A and B are shown apart, each in its own frame.
Chain A
């Protein structure tokens, strides 16, 4: 059985699909279908004003190896027809198709049909192939359509030949422009049992029909008059917004009553990978020895696990090769010797080393939320792009990610929190939801103390504490301390424009997921007015700007993570000065957000204290009232932050 080396192998195809550089089949050989009168007459798409182009049709056909007349390889055929509606739409005049040694491009054809019916074929010299990696055997072929103008129709088709029965990528029916018709037809030979899956988040109405054919089963899925996928800030990934379809083989029947399970359920899916995983784990003599050596440092199981996790995380370089499959011949001792491995290899190394000191551990297939939501009903390895390890320590399950040097023991990246995952096991895999943290765990807390001198110049000190994901975002444990301090100095200099920042001290704690910065600041001489001074008290976190400017939201809001910002400014002034304008207090609490700001003035002590706290308690805001709430939070905060704090000479 041939398995794709990695998800990466087929990922380019997905890109091609997303670009609309769809996949054809026999249609390619048969030439382009005639252009209809309706297609010729079309100049705009109802309810889609400004659409620069429209996909008139996008048809894919997957003919699995074994279908009559197609024995030696699977063929994915794509045929697409676009019409250019505006000058801006001419940018759709170039397309790129990614392919590889294992997913070979063939029968690429393209033409432009002008509004006056003239057909301009794409010349050979307008088709450009380049290799994106010689060792990886990956390529991209680009086409520049000729004579593209408003009203022109661009036709193209091609085939991808795959030496396998697997094509696990989804078919996306929608694009960033409207699509009048999109279909995917899959033909499987007798004896291959498949399972299909659909997602229609915009409720565009995707339909499906299944037919028995001479050589097997044919599944046709289609949608009509599909709107463009919305593009909004802090939105869900394209994969979650566009309607899509996937079909995976679940079993092979040999005709004599024998059945080989494929991606039928999670157990069979895990089993497909099991042989390679087991083989990789068997060669672990050196890894075991290293683990025992690390464990000698003492402490309980938890401390030993921490030492081993830290070793794999920090001492083994992570190669950014997504997916859950292993490279051929991979084993944990080889990863240890090379001091580098991809996500799967590092996770297995960690599993092996934990096992060597008696800690039960198993790999967990995980998917970052930015790649789209996982539906565990479909037992497809395609969902997952990485592995972590679940360890049982002192009766508790602890998730360990060895791929990220800025993640503490037991912490997961924000993109994994709360996502479906699979506890890998060849016999009894277990779907789980990864744990989540509280929004209060992810804080930015700033304290600034400033004093005004008699000349009207501000100077003082500040501290900034980042915890949780805020720390994770900024931790840089590999960099030398002076460079880290320099980088923070630049950040603070930008945040406090008009001040000279000095004496920057940075304390980084990966294991505590904490970062502390302390600094001194002095207003630049040119900034001093002498008789008045205006401060933006929300610095260094504000003034915020409303990120949700649309009055109507089409898609849910997905933030990187929920969090809390807290800041406190203490300001002292000398005799002869007084506050002239102060920010108004603010207090607003919603169901998932909160903002509170206050100023306390002690005129006798010539001191004031300004405090501001902003909470966003959920990262996924699905309901329209939640959108209104977060929009309101930013409106209130933006207005508040726009108010200056003014001191003037009496």
Chain B
């Protein structure tokens, strides 16, 4: 179950990494039986038999975790290893450890793992684990990943006892799966499933898809999920006087509702530090806002609920919005359930408050008090273009947050004069806006000047390999959208060979799109980082130098646009290159359009600039 609720998407990755060893070995049998009982509890029986195919497999599988929590208890566990000769060695209690663990970014959690340590056995041996876990679900729904990074010879997944008003859905391809449905149950079987090896830039969960989602006792709509969450919030003491007083104080000098939102968001984002403590249902239910304000720490849901209460006191209508914070993952909007989100942000009624360009969708402005560098105008890309479940009574439902690629901009400007030895000397400036601006702001705040200088030089070094840098400077910029500027004096040796009389030269700025080789035989979507990349070179050529032929290339389609111009203005060679990527998730049907953009970008970056030399 995913209930990270933590700021960092890395925590989720860690959670998944714990769920099974990497490649090799063959899963001979994986059988999962989900027994939904009349009292609402769920018995989860899992049988796993893994054959070790190579000596490396033992270390990958020798410690096998079974995940537990306050609402997930281990009822039965047996494990054994069978050697190729048929000798069976049972795993005793001393080889079963219990560890409490946290994900990255969490200070504490109630999550546990019962870790089975197998005896040493050679390749050809089979490791078996049979476990029964009893779960008291917080919400009547669950999910089972059906894919694996190991080949699976036999798979059987059964969900039963769900009663008449149940629902299920397979998210992802059904290739190789046999599905049998009967009233209140479903059985999925498969044989000889190959291991899943997602290509680069694939969705995060591609390696474990497809996923079977199931739910019972109705709860078939997002509105129901919203009601469930409101039920949790009802138990949280609200509207405490200290919170209301604080809201009034903070809003006192803010004349407009937008100003009030800005002041209260800044308070929740910057004056309450992010600390994640996830204990049982507390992984979903926020702490009382009064407490959060008093202790000045909390996780995303604590900060969000505090902001909502502050806003309400200041007369601004605001709602919790459950969302998946991930740049390479999406929820399944077709299957309403509680466990597809890992983050809570705030949806504010935009009317009379939002400005053009703000992240507004369906009349709601989304703000994220977890992000210290966020603002009314800018949302972290991980919560852009995602379905958010806005929790507001009967009006609860999914709203897709807007994608704002225009606010994610990288601009490299180089201005050089060619020296007699052919080197270019001048200045470089790199402007980073949006997520990169935010990252560099954080880095600068956390680093000593000498560390920051090393980092900044490293960035410029990657963009302009071989350049000699001096007077390296950096500064935080931007107010609404986080921005960061780096500048330096630069010398690029051998830029224009033969003192400007060469017939061609190349600029070090590379392409900004991934190789089109990634599209070969690809069935998974391509997940990109939308945004704008600008490159501008101004090169003052020496007298008598060869000059460029003016050139212009433009490619534009619904995924984005690429444009490059080469011109001569007096003695100044100007090269302007821009790439706009407007979509994050490129489905196979759009690969051709992506290829068109990528080829234009990559070929332009690869081609040398051709010069025409004066006669003689």
Q: How far is the CA of A483 from the CA of B294 in the complex (A)?
A: 55
Q: How far is the CA of A498 from the CA of B462 in the complex (A)?
A: 19
- The chain A residue sitting closest to B109, CB to CB, is A130
Assess whether A498 is in contact with B506, with CB atoms less than 8 Å apart: no
Assess whether A126 is in contact with B295, with CB atoms less than 8 Å apart: yes
Assess whether B603 is in contact with A529, with CB atoms less than 8 Å apart: yes
A317 within 8 A of B: yes
Among the interface residues B108, B446, B454, which one has the most CB atoms of the partner chain A within 10 A? B108
Q: How far is the CA of A400 from the CA of B66 in the complex (A)?
A: 38
Distance between A241 CB and nearest chain B CB, rounded to angstroms: 14
Distance between B131 CB and nearest chain A CB, rounded to angstroms: 17
Assess whether A338 is in contact with B295, with CB atoms less than 8 Å apart: no
Assess whether B445 is in contact with A88, with CB atoms less than 8 Å apart: yes
A550 within 8 A of B: yes
Our pick among A49, A132, A635 for the contact of B100 (Cβ within 8 Å) is A132
In A189-224, the 8 Å CB interface with B consists of none
Known: A52-B446, A144-B297, A146-B296. A133 touches B273 (CB 8 A): no
In B485-512, the 8 Å CB interface with A consists of 493-494, 497, 502-504, 506, 508
Distance between B51 CB and nearest chain A CB, rounded to angstroms: 13
* Chain B binder among A363-371, A566-574, A637-645: A637-645
Distance between B145 CB and nearest chain A CB, rounded to angstroms: 23
Assess whether A529 is in contact with B119, with CB atoms less than 8 Å apart: no
A532 within 8 A of B: yes
Distance between A202 CB and nearest chain B CB, rounded to angstroms: 15
Q: How far is the CA of A476 from the CA of B109 in the complex (A)?
A: 36
Q: How far is the CA of A123 from the CA of B433 in the complex (A)?
A: 40
Our pick among B109, B294, B494, B606 for the contact of A643 (Cβ within 8 Å) is B494
Distance between B201 CB and nearest chain A CB, rounded to angstroms: 13
Our pick among B107, B446, B515 for the contact of A144 (Cβ within 8 Å) is B107
Indicate with 1 or 0, residue by residue over A529-560, a CB within 8 angstroms of chain B CB atoms. Answer: 10010100000000101100111101000000
Assess whether B273 is in contact with A93, with CB atoms less than 8 Å apart: yes
Assess whether B54 is in contact with A480, with CB atoms less than 8 Å apart: yes
Assess whether B493 is in contact with A639, with CB atoms less than 8 Å apart: yes
Distance between A225 CB and nearest chain B CB, rounded to angstroms: 17
Known: A146-B295, A480-B54, A646-B608. A497 touches B515 (CB 8 A): yes
Assess whether B24 is in contact with A479, with CB atoms less than 8 Å apart: yes
Chain B residue total in the interface (Cβ 8 A): 66
* Chain B binder among A134-142, A167-175, A268-276, A298-306: A134-142
Q: Which residues of A contact B275 (CB under 8 A)?
A: 93-94, 144
B595 within 8 A of A: yes
Q: Which residues of A contact B295 (CB under 8 A)?
A: 123, 126, 144, 146-147
A346 within 8 A of B: no
Assess whether A524 is in contact with B297, with CB atoms less than 8 Å apart: no
Chain B contact residues, majority secondary structure: mixed
Q: How far is the CA of A133 from the CA of B517 in the complex (A)?
A: 46
Indicate with 1 or 0, residue by residue over B367-385, a CB within 8 angstroms of chain A CB atoms. Answer: 0000010000000000000
Our pick among B99, B120, B445, B494 for the contact of A86 (Cβ within 8 Å) is B445
Assess whether A534 is in contact with B56, with CB atoms less than 8 Å apart: no
Q: How far is the CA of A261 from the CA of B525 in the complex (A)?
A: 69
A339 within 8 A of B: yes
Assess whether A149 is in contact with B448, with CB atoms less than 8 Å apart: no
Q: Which residues of A contact B137 (CB under 8 A)?
A: none
Chain A contact residues, majority secondary structure: loop
In B300-353, the 8 Å CB interface with A consists of none
Our pick among B120, B297, B502, B608 for the contact of A146 (Cβ within 8 Å) is B297
Q: How far is the CA of A134 from the CA of B56 in the complex (A)?
A: 27
Indicate with 1 or 0, residue by residue over A74-96, a CB within 8 angstroms of chain B CB atoms. Answer: 00000000000011101101101
Assess whether B447 is in contact with A338, with CB atoms less than 8 Å apart: no
Q: Which residues of A contact B502 (CB under 8 A)?
A: 581
Q: Which residues of A contact B442 (CB under 8 A)?
A: 88
Q: Which residues of B contact A543 (CB under 8 A)?
A: 465
Assess whether A480 is in contact with B24, with CB atoms less than 8 Å apart: yes
A50 within 8 A of B: yes
Assess whether A128 is in contact with B448, with CB atoms less than 8 Å apart: no
- The chain B residue sitting closest to A93, CB to CB, is B273
B53 within 8 A of A: yes
Q: Which residues of B contact A524 (CB under 8 A)?
A: 515-517
Indicate with 1 or 0, residue by residue over B541-569, a CB within 8 angstroms of chain A CB atoms. Answer: 00000000000000000000000000000
Indicate with 1 or 0, residue by residue over A607-650, a CB within 8 angstroms of chain B CB atoms. Answer: 00000000000000000000000000001001111111010100
B234 within 8 A of A: no
Q: How far is the CA of A130 from the CA of B109 in the complex (A)?
A: 8
A113 within 8 A of B: no
Q: How far is the CA of A532 from the CA of B271 in the complex (A)?
A: 57
Q: Which residues of A contact B453 (CB under 8 A)?
A: 549-551
Assess whether A142 is in contact with B107, with CB atoms less than 8 Å apart: yes
A580 within 8 A of B: yes
Assess whether B515 is in contact with A148, with CB atoms less than 8 Å apart: no
Q: How far is the CA of A549 from the CA of B442 in the complex (A)?
A: 20
Among the interface residues B100, B497, B502, which one has the most CB atoms of the partner chain A within 10 A? B100
Our pick among A338, A478, A642, A646 for the contact of B508 (Cβ within 8 Å) is A642
- The chain B residue sitting closest to A499, CB to CB, is B517
Known: A233-B454, A639-B466. A478 touches B54 (CB 8 A): yes
In A3-43, the 8 Å CB interface with B consists of none
Q: How far is the CA of A551 from the CA of B472 in the complex (A)?
A: 11
Assess whether A534 is in contact with B608, with CB atoms less than 8 Å apart: yes
B59 within 8 A of A: yes
Q: How far is the CA of A545 from the CA of B448 in the complex (A)?
A: 22
Our pick among B100, B119, B506, B602 for the contact of A131 (Cβ within 8 Å) is B100
Q: How far is the CA of A188 from the CA of B476 in the complex (A)?
A: 54
Q: Which residues of B contact A96 (CB under 8 A)?
A: 107
Assess whether A147 is in contact with B296, with CB atoms less than 8 Å apart: yes
Known: A50-B448, A638-B461. A526 touches B599 (CB 8 A): yes
Distance between B237 CB and nearest chain A CB, rounded to angstroms: 15
Known: A136-B97, A147-B296, A480-B24. A128 touches B108 (CB 8 A): yes
In B441-491, the 8 Å CB interface with A consists of 442, 445-451, 453-454, 457-458, 461-462, 465-466, 468
Q: How far is the CA of A385 from the CA of B320 in the complex (A)?
A: 51
B98 within 8 A of A: yes
Our pick among B120, B458, B503, B517 for the contact of A338 (Cβ within 8 Å) is B120
Q: Which residues of A contact B294 (CB under 8 A)?
A: 146-147
Distance between B563 CB and nearest chain A CB, rounded to angstroms: 19
Known: A146-B296, A545-B462. A135 touches B506 (CB 8 A): no
B270 within 8 A of A: yes
Our pick among B271, B599, B606 for the contact of A149 (Cβ within 8 Å) is B271
Our pick among A134, A483, A580 for the contact of B98 (Cβ within 8 Å) is A134
Q: Which residues of A contact B503 (CB under 8 A)?
A: 580
B184 within 8 A of A: no
Q: Which residues of B contact A131 (CB under 8 A)?
A: 98-100
- The chain A residue sitting closest to B456, CB to CB, is A549
Distance between B501 CB and nearest chain A CB, rounded to angstroms: 13
B94 within 8 A of A: yes
B277 within 8 A of A: yes
B198 within 8 A of A: no
Q: Which residues of A contact B466 (CB under 8 A)?
A: 638-643
Q: Which residues of A contact B454 (CB under 8 A)?
A: 232-233, 549-550
Q: How far is the CA of A483 from the CA of B197 in the complex (A)?
A: 12
Assess whether A526 is in contact with B461, with CB atoms less than 8 Å apart: no
A584 within 8 A of B: yes
Beyond A316-B120, A639-B493, list 20 extra A-B contacts (CB 8 Å): A49-B448, A50-B447, A88-B445, A90-B273, A93-B297, A131-B99, A131-B100, A132-B101, A147-B295, A317-B58, A479-B56, A526-B517, A526-B602, A534-B608, A545-B465, A554-B450, A581-B497, A639-B494, A641-B466, A646-B608
- 24 pairs of residues in contact across A and B, judged by CB atoms under 8 Å: A93-B273, A131-B99, A135-B97, A142-B108, A144-B107, A145-B297, A146-B294, A146-B295, A147-B295, A231-B448, A232-B451, A232-B454, A317-B58, A340-B120, A477-B55, A526-B599, A534-B506, A546-B457, A550-B453, A552-B450, A581-B497, A639-B466, A646-B506, A648-B504
Cβ-closest 5 pairs across A and B? A642-B466, A128-B108, A130-B100, A549-B457, A478-B56
